[in-house]
Structure 1
Amino acid sequence: MFPTLIRRAVQSAKEPLTTKIPLTIANNPYKARKVWPPDFKELTHQQQLRFEKKYKRRVALASRSPRWEKGVKYAQLATMAAAMVWLIFYSEFEWWGQKYKPSEELRKHAINLFGVLDPEKRYERRKDAPEVNPSRNSDSK
């Protein structure tokens, strides 16, 4: 393995890189095998259909956008979640002959983020919470 790598590293290039001419249509050594797009008048009906299928497949692959599709899926998920929340907490409807009306308490808690932002409890502190300014209280002692 190593003798081959050393031999290839020492070996000179076939043509120097500095004398390369930029490729143009006239001096391109890699000629296209087929003319694209083909002349459809010269093709049979079956060949025309095959080219149309190939073109449609290539256009579909080129126009795919995974980020856009992912964004649309998230937007659909958010819309459905919002619709379910609205249906449960705010709507009044009849379901199999029984009327459904969310309670006022449920609506109140939903508005106040289930009691976290409730105006009545806003300034209450938990029993296990530390004091607000422990340095002031220790100075006064």
Structure 2
Amino acid sequence: MKISERLQRGYNVKTHWILSLFRILLGLSLLFVGISHLTFARAEFVAQVPDWVPVPDDLTVLLSGFAEIILGLALVILPKWKALTGWVVALFFVIIFPGNIAQYVNQIDAFGLDTDRARLIRLFFQPVLIAWALWSTGAFKAFKNKS
């Protein structure tokens, strides 16, 4: 059996239609945010790139925008791979979290977050996004079934 077939079989879990709706909603949200990285909100995203990132700020934003577009499309159009995609999206949300921390620590006004309180509250939404990615794709269920 090919590796791709084993992966697909292990990550193709059945989920309720409500979870599918939330998965698609998350995918469309990622598509929108990814497009905004490349277009109208690019400067605000550039302002959030932490100083320690070794890649130029604009390139970081472009790459993360493309990643969000690809992940969003995967959530929407690859339902057989949804659980694996859920894990990848959750990992992506973990990887970009330092940008949100940098916005808070460096007091960067972007996306209407112009107070320390607003920026701090935003930090607590990242775990919600991670949980949403894992829950709506059945990623936890797939992992449990594989064990």
Give the TM-score normalised by structure 2: 0.24
Larger Rg over CA atoms? 1
Larger strand fraction of residues: 1
Which of structures 1 and 2 has the larger relative contact order (alpha carbons within 8 angstroms, sep 6+)?
A: 2
Larger helix proportion of the pair: 2
